Structure 1
Amino acid sequence: MLRLIHATEEFEYDQARELFLEYVESLGVDLSFQNIATELQNIPGEYAPPDGCILLALDSEQPAGCVALRKIDEQVCEMKRLYVKPQWKGRGVGKKLALAILDEAKIRGYSFIRLDTLPTMQQAIQLYRSLEFYPIEPYRFNPIEGTLYMEKQLK
């Protein structure tokens, strides 16, 4: 049975670290501009409560996916690292994680949630559109051509 949890313990941060790394490797692009090595080393880092969080999807205590939330400013947060392991794709895990992180953003009082995604990630883009994310102008540096920036109003 799939369940979602907040990563709060070191072993859960280790699971998140592994999933984040799998995610980065699955993209096949260089994310060094995001200081990914530092991010992985410092988990929870920018995702630490109370302003952010990391959610893990677990099946029989084995990680199936993850998503993270971090603060941009008092009104705006960012969804990061939404990832579902290949054997779990097509089962609604990504949608469950995305809906849960939207709830987390609302609980924390944010008015908007943003994300960026690659044009090759068509399933993710379709999910974001179904959740009423809309295109916006770039809000942070990303040198990858065609990067899409999206936002959703929460209030």
Structure 2
Amino acid sequence: MIKIIRTDSKNEDFSNLIKELDAYLKVTDGNEHEFYNQFNGIDVLNHVILVYDQNEAVACGAFKEFNTSSVEIKRMYTKPQTRGKGLASQVLSALETWAHELGYTACVLETGIRQKEAVQFYKKNNYTNIPNYGQYINMTNSLCFEKKLV
């Protein structure tokens, strides 16, 4: 049975999933991992979605305010053994709904060019490429996306 909850970064299940995500990114980001990792602290994340399958936390995502009208999607992860079930789409949809409820009109995010599955996932979920923003402006391995919330 799938259960989706809203929580924050103090949730232990979220912390455990992030440890798995960071281990994965350390491999895929290679030499650039430390650069990216400095922007992925979870202590500032007050809006976290967790998905449970049979009472086990299997997927997560979060957002933080980007500007007065947008949030930045952060820390999206699904355990490898539960991928392909649409859980990441449920997380993303729940984050978008929550952001919209709080009055935000858009979501932005950054993902790595090497995370081919993530790039396809965001395109499939109606995110469009935008110029790299903030700390990612000169990062050739970064791709930035945006989606307007209706």
TM-score range relative to shorter protein? 0.7 to 0.9
Could you say which residue in structure 2 is the equivalent of 1:20? 18
In structure 1, how many angstroms separate the alpha carbons of the residues matched to 2:70 and 2:121? Answer: 20
**May I ask how many residue pairs the two structures share in their alignment?**
144
Q: Secondary structure at the match of 1:149?
A: strand
Q: Which residue of structure 2 aligns with residue 4 of structure 1?
A: 4
Moved over 6 A (4+): none
Q: Could you say which residue in structure 2 is the equivalent of 1:32?
A: 34
Contact 1:64 1:88 in 2 (8 A): yes
Aligned to 1:125, which of 119, 123, 133?
A: 119
RMSD between aligned residues: 2.0
| Equivalent-residue separation in structure 2 for 1:68 and 1:31 (angstroms) | 20
**SS of residue paired to 1:46:** coil
- So what's the TM-score if we normalise by structure 1? 0.83
**Partner SS for 1:5:** strand
**Partner AA of 1:24 in structure 2:** D
**Distance in 1 (alpha carbons) for counterparts of 2:9 and 2:59:** 17
Structure 1 residues not aligned, in runs of 5+: none
Give the aligned residue type for 1:2.
Answer: I
After TM superposition, give the deviation of residue 35 of structure 1 in Å: 2.6
Aligned 8 A contact 2:9 2:48 in 1: no
Unaligned runs of 5+ in 2: none
Q: Secondary structure at the match of 2:17?
A: helix
Contact 1:46 1:71 in 2 (8 A): no
- In the alignment, is residue 82 of structure 1 matched against residue 80 of structure 2? no
Residues 1:9 and 1:154: Cα distance change in structure 2 (over 3 Å): closer
Q: 1:73: how far off?
A: 1.4
Q: CA deviation at 1:146?
A: 2.1
In the TM superposition, residue 98 of structure 1 has moved relative to its aligned partner by 1.0
CA distance in 2, matches of 1:62, 1:111: 32
Task: Name the residue aligned to 2:104.
Answer: 110
Q: Which has the higher strand share?
A: 2
Q: Which amino acid aligns with 2:144?
A: Y
Alignment-derived partner of residue 148 in structure 2: 153
